[in-house]
């Protein structure tokens, strides 16, 4: 049985699993689906075709399933799907997908959306992702597993953020960030790899050294990025994560790929003669 506070409104048609808790002054619209053990603490709005996975916790004044801020959206029945055990903090907002795109906004399991952050229409977010407080993801952004976005960061539409990447706080991200990439500043530039994330993932020192060597080849000034990728694949293509990074760079999305602040010399160190990016 669900535990529903007398001041809450749950419209007919809403589907509630077992042990769901809906606190004071929440509003759950008719198309919403709340799986087992979901908790809406208080003053939460869940509208549209929104699904919350098992064990999700939503804090006060969060708004889930609102219409997309997309002038080309025609108002069709698009969806928001949120995976299990995800925590959504105070005043966060997440919109459903839009009719002129995938029609789905997806957030994986075990994610943490901090207070006042915004996830726009058609974003696809993986598992174990952290979105910092007051950060905003524009439409169609992709964030892969275990990535972290620091607080007060803005991510431009269609940007891809690779798995285990880390975006520093108060950054403006307009380019794709490679897996395990470390990016920061306004505008954000690449600062090498997320070494803390590498160590936490159990990566061996030999793997880190190989990835650093590949990084030096990819971003060297001695050729084009496309040519450097071919060299990196020849030298390091049998390394699983390096191959993933090369594939990520070759499969360019709608945004250019982020580069270091300065291009690297053949030794893998920053070149003083390289232009600022």
Q: Which pLDDT belongs to residue 224?
A: 87
Active-site residue, selected from the candidate residues 103, 108, 139, 151: 139
Strand partners, 27: 9, 45
178 lies in a domain? no
Q: Which pLDDT belongs to residue 223?
A: 83
147 lies in a domain? no
Rounded to whole angstroms, the Cα distance separating 183 from 172 reads 10
Q: Is 48 a catalytic residue?
A: no
Left if phi > 0, otherwise alpha if psi is -120 to 50, otherwise beta: which for 146?
A: left
Q: Is 75 a catalytic residue?
A: no
100 lies in a domain? yes
The secondary structure element, H or E, covering residue 104 is strand 104-107
User: Residue 50 class from Cβ within 10 Å (0-12 exposed, 13-18 middle, 19+ buried)?
Assistant: buried
Domain that holds residue 50: 3-70+77-140
Domain count, the chain: 2
Question: pLDDT tens for residues 3-19?
Answer: 999 999 999 999 999 99
Q: Which two tokens stand for residue 39?
A: 């908790």
Given a cut of 60, is residue 266 above it in pLDDT? no
104 lies in a domain? yes
Judgement on whether residues 122 and 207 belong to the same structural domain of the protein = no
Active-site residue, selected from the candidate residues 35, 55, 95, 122: 122
Question: pLDDT tens for residues 203-227?
Answer: 999 999 999 999 999 999 888 888 9
Given a cut of 90, is residue 1 above it in pLDDT? no
Rounded to whole angstroms, the Cα distance separating 102 from 108 reads 16
Judgement on whether residues 15 and 132 belong to the same structural domain of the protein = yes
126 lies in a domain? yes
Q: What is the mean pLDDT of the chain?
A: 93
Q: Which pLDDT belongs to residue 268?
A: 44
Judgement on whether residues 204 and 134 belong to the same structural domain of the protein = no
166's CB contacts (< 8 A; 6+ apart) are: 147, 148, 150, 181, 182, 183, 194, 196, 197
64 lies in a domain? yes
- Give residue 274's pLDDT band: very low, low, confident or very high (50, 70, 90): very low
Judgement on whether residues 134 and 214 belong to the same structural domain of the protein = no
With CA atoms as reference, report the closest residue to 6 among 33, 25, 28.
Answer: 25
In three-state secondary structure terms, 197 is helix
Judgement on whether residues 130 and 15 belong to the same structural domain of the protein = yes
Active-site residue, selected from the candidate residues 121, 146, 163, 239: 121
153 lies in a domain? no
pTM: 0.93
Question: pLDDT tens for residues 247-259?
Answer: 999 998 899 999 9
Which among 140, 169, 189 is the end of a domain? 140
Judgement on whether residues 115 and 241 belong to the same structural domain of the protein = no
Question: pLDDT tens for residues 113-153?
Answer: 999 999 999 999 999 999 999 999 999 999 999 999 999 99
What number is the average pLDDT over the span 11-30? 98
- State the virtual CA torsion across 117, 118, 119, 121 in degrees, nearest 10: 170
Q: Is 128 a catalytic residue?
A: no
């Amino acid at each position: 049985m669900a535990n529903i506070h007398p001041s809450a409104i749950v419209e007919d048609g809403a589907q509630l699993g077992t042990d769901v808790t809906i606190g004071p002054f929440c509003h759950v619209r008719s198309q919403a689906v709340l799986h087992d053990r979901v908790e809406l603490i208080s003053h939460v709005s869940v509208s549209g075709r929104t699904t919350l996975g098992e064990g999700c916790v939503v804090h006060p004044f969060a708004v889930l399933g609102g219409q997309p801020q997309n002038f080309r959206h025609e108002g069709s029945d698009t969806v928001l799907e949120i995976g299990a055990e995800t925590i959504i903090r105070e005043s966060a907002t997440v919109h459903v997908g839009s009719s002129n795109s995938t029609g789905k906004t997806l957030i994986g399991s075990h994610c943490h959306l901090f207070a006042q952050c915004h996830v726009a229409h058609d974003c696809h977010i993986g598992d174990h992702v952290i979105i910092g407080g007051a950060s905003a993801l524009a439409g169609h952004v992709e964030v892969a597993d275990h990535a972290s976005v620091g607080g007060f960061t803005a991510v431009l539409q269609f940007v891809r953020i690779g798995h285990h990447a880390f975006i520093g706080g108060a950054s403006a991200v307009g380019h794709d960030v490679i897996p395990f990439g470390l990016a920061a500043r306004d505008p954000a530039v690449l600062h090498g790899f997320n070494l803390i994330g590498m160590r936490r993932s159990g990566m061996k020192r030999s793997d880190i050294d190989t990835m650093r060597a590949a990084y030096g080849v990819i971003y060297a000034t001695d050729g084009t990025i496309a040519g450097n990728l071919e060299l990196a694949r020849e030298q390091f293509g049998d390394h699983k994560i390096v191959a993933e990074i090369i594939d990520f760079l070759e499969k360019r999305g709608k945004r250019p790929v982020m580069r270091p602040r300065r291009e690297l010399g053949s030794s893998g160190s920053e070149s003083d003669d390289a232009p600022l990016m």
